[in-house]
Amino acid sequence: MIDSIRTWWRSPLRCALLVFFVLGSRGAEAQLQVDITSGVSVPIPLAIEDLAADPQASAEVIRQDLARSGRFIVGLRTAADYLVTGRASAGVDGRTTIDFELLNLLNGQRLLVERVTSPPTAWRNAAHRISDRIYQKIIGARSAFATRIAYVSVDGQPPSQRYQLIVADADGENARVVLQSRLPLMSPTWSPDGESIAYVSFETRAAAIYVQKVRTAERRRVSGRPGVNNAPAWSPDGRKLALTLSSGSGNLDVHVLELDTGVLTRITDHPAIDTEPVWSVDGSQIYFTSDRAGGPQVYRAEPIAGARPQRITFVGNYNARPRVSPDGKQLAFVTREGGAYRIALQDLGNGVVRVLSKGPQDESPAFSPDGGTLIYAARERGQRVLGTVSADGLILQRLKADRGEVREPAWGPFLP
Amino acid sequence: MRHIAAILLILGLLAACKSAPPPASESAGELAPRADASAIAQPDDSAGTVSAGEVGNDAESTVVLPPELQGRTVIYFAFDSDSISAEDQELVAAHARFMSGKAGVRLRLEGHTDERGSPEYNIGLGERRAQAVRRALGLQGVADSRVATVSYGEERPAASGDNEDAYSRNRRVELVYLGG
């Protein structure tokens, strides 16, 4: 079962399988299993004791989170620089309270003394929040353990595939199917408030874009024009979708749809393929893919009619599917190197491009909300899996389904 | 008598399937939405059991093709290309002749790519292929209004696998007849 241990050529890596586990299979949905394929060279030793009186395995969730981050090595107290201890207690209202402490064993300092309260059903989320607090305190940067991802699972052989849109915790747990279809589902993307997912469904044998509430499964078709309806992208304020339409003519252009009013504005007007829009962090620009120069490249335009696009990518002859980092400073996209498709990161300030992933067919990059990690679709030994890579390129993970194939990941925002 | 005719029709279709499987036959199976589709958990609720709506089935009428077109409803393309080979131009012309004699028949062109590259960009490439076939049909006199296109990009491969054999079978436009 130990596979895909990779080395990363750019840095002296301690390339170890730090953790490996199989997530329990609960239902018909494909469950993900996670393994680290490489981590940082000097991970921080950390011990997490079982929480006293904990009816759940909260400590184990915290251990898995921090070990899989690649920044820590989780082990015995005697070898650790930091120690987490805690106690669970049940309140009269049925909620569970966890009091925990983070100790610096090197100087005896108490770094955190905190309490997390949650309904018993949300115990995993509570544990992820504790992981986020510990990570923040020690590393000094935000993490995204208590967030969710969405992805598409494909089961069965052609022509009898079954497509499922799945929402799961960021660690792959709590996976649940929010929609399934005999016809393709693609391009899931979270609304900025984390309440809704926009996606493309071909369920009527024509493409249409839907917006679906994650909690209630209530959904609305927001675009079902003749031809292509694809690549929805939420504006930062959540009120608009950028999307790709062909309006029956076969010419794909980027449009902006106001969700409340239905007002549609055509942003690009060019016989090339213009698609894969995504908004800049402040909403003042839309990045998109266009093959107006021959092969696909990333461009940027104001989200207004008659905008004049400006080319952004210049290295190589295939750069597609841009995504802007949460701090607005980096652009992730798919680049072709030789015959391989990989995830690359371009500094929007100085234009320097770094290729982060190593697979033959990496695609569909998406940033974690903290910006520290990218999730993407990959092919490994003939199977479609999800990969993550830290934005510094040091930490690589694989998320595989226990059956079927997984693709088109989207990382949800921080939850309030 | 109607039953016998129906059985004969079904037998005929089955025979046609054996010799030449129609490209887009779908088995009807899942219906939308399931009764428990409202049982959606809170985002943080690990105990909630969740089920999803199921979508994606529509029964289609089947147009019986003349023998010379049976099993010849797929046009294949080279990598990163939307040009139709000379041989397939002949095939398109034969489909156009069939349509000219069948006023009620419409066509849906389903464009596909192989799995390499970005999925959404591939939707564009698949649409380009479907439009290439639509234009070729138009040159043969088939009105645009009788032809719809849909691009599945790489989402609905005919063959699985990450090798050139699968890729070449997936770069295609399927001609799906509607009406009758």
To the nearest whole angstrom, how far is the Cα of A102 from the nearest Cα of chain B? 24
> Which residues of chain B lie closer than 8 angstroms to A288, CB-CB?
none
CA A137 vs CA A130, A327, A379: distances in Å: 11, 20, 35
Q: Which of A123, A205, A334 sits opposite B118 (nearest CB)?
A: A334
Helices (H) and strands (E) in chain A, counts: 2, 31
- The whole-angstrom distance between residue B30's C-alpha and the CA centroid of its chain comes to 19
Q: Do residue A306 and residue A358 come from a single domain?
A: yes
Q: Do residue A63 and residue A109 come from a single domain?
A: yes
Whole-angstrom distance, CA of residue B80 vs CA of residue A124: 46
CA-nearest residue of chain B to A322? B118
CATH code for the domain in which residue A70 is found? 3.40.50.10070
A396 C-beta neighbours (distance < 10 Å), count: 27
pLDDT of residue A26: 39
CA A20 vs CA A44, A59, A99, A257: distances in Å: 18, 16, 28, 43
Look at residue A283 and tell me whether its pLDDT is greater than 80.
yes
* Residue with the two structure tokens 């034969």: B94
Residue range A9-24, pLDDT digits in tens: 222 322 222 222 222 3
In terms of phi and psi (left: phi > 0; alpha: psi -120 to 50; beta: otherwise), the region of B5 is alpha
A273/B124 CB distance under 8 A? yes
> Which residues of chain B lie closer than 8 angstroms to A179, CB-CB?
52-55
Judged by average pLDDT, the poorest of A17-21, A176-180, A265-269, A404-408 is A17-21
Cβ atoms of residues B91 and B140 within 8 Å: no
pLDDT of residue B33: 35
Q: Do residue A118 and residue A175 come from a single domain?
A: no
B56/A202 CB distance under 8 A? yes
CA-nearest residue of chain A to B152? A184
pLDDT of residue B179: 85
Look at residue B13 and tell me whether its pLDDT is greater than 50.
no
CATH code for the domain in which residue A202 is found? 2.120.10.30
To the nearest whole angstrom, how far is the Cα of A49 from the nearest Cα of chain B? 23
B155/A186 CB distance under 8 A? yes
Q: What ipTM does the predicted assembly reach?
A: 0.90
Interface contacts A/B by beta carbons within 8 Å? 196
Tally of domains within chain A: 2
Q: Do residue A8 and residue A81 come from a single domain?
A: no
Look at residue A367 and tell me whether its pLDDT is greater than 60.
yes
A44 vs B18, residue with greater confidence: A44
Report yes or no on A366 lying in a domain. yes
Look at residue A248 and tell me whether its pLDDT is greater than 60.
yes
Percentage of residues of chain A with pLDDT beyond 90: 82
Report yes or no on A416 lying in a domain. no
Task: Tell me the residue type at A139.
Answer: I
Judged by average pLDDT, the poorest of A9-13, A84-88, A246-250 is A9-13
Q: Do residue A173 and residue A75 come from a single domain?
A: no
- A85, A114, A139: which is the final residue of a domain? A139
Report yes or no on A245 lying in a domain. yes
Best A166, A205, A229, A336 residue to mutate vs chain B (most B CBs within 10 Å): A205
Instruction: Write the CB contacts of A219 (distance below 8 Å, at least 6 apart in sequence).
Output: A179, A210, A211, A212, A213, B53
Report yes or no on A229 lying in a domain. yes
Whole-angstrom distance, CA of residue B75 vs CA of residue A27: 40
Under the banding of pLDDT at 50, 70 and 90, the label for residue A30 is: low
Residue range A296-325, pLDDT digits in tens: 999 999 999 999 999 999 999 999 999 999
Q: Do residue A125 and residue A248 come from a single domain?
A: no
> Which residues of chain B lie closer than 8 angstroms to A203, CB-CB?
32, 55-57
Whole-angstrom distance, CA of residue A152 vs CA of residue B154: 13
Q: Which of B24, B120, B157 sits opposite A321 (nearest CB)?
A: B120
Range of the domain at A56: 43-139
> Which residues of chain B lie closer than 8 angstroms to A364, CB-CB?
118-119
Report yes or no on A396 lying in a domain. yes
DSSP A13-77: -------EE-PPP-SSSPPEEEEEEE--SSPEEEEEPPPBT-SS-HHHHHHHHHHHTSSEEE--G
> Which residues of chain B lie closer than 8 angstroms to A244, CB-CB?
120, 123-124
Whole-angstrom distance, CA of residue A37 vs CA of residue A210: 36
**pTM summary value:** 0.85
Q: Which of B53, B54, B150 sits opposite A207 (nearest CB)?
A: B150
CA-nearest residue of chain B to A275? B121
Looking at the DSSP bridge assignments, the partners of residue B172 are B76
Which phi and psi (to 5°) does residue A300 adopt?
-140, 140
What token pair was written down for A416? 């309030």
Q: Do residue A18 and residue A96 come from a single domain?
A: no
Q: Do residue A116 and residue A54 come from a single domain?
A: yes
pLDDT of residue A94: 87
- The whole-angstrom distance between residue A19's C-alpha and the CA centroid of its chain comes to 20
A122/B42 CB distance under 8 A? yes
Under the banding of pLDDT at 50, 70 and 90, the label for residue B61 is: low
Compute the CA torsion angle A173, A178, A183, A187 (nearest 10 deg). -70
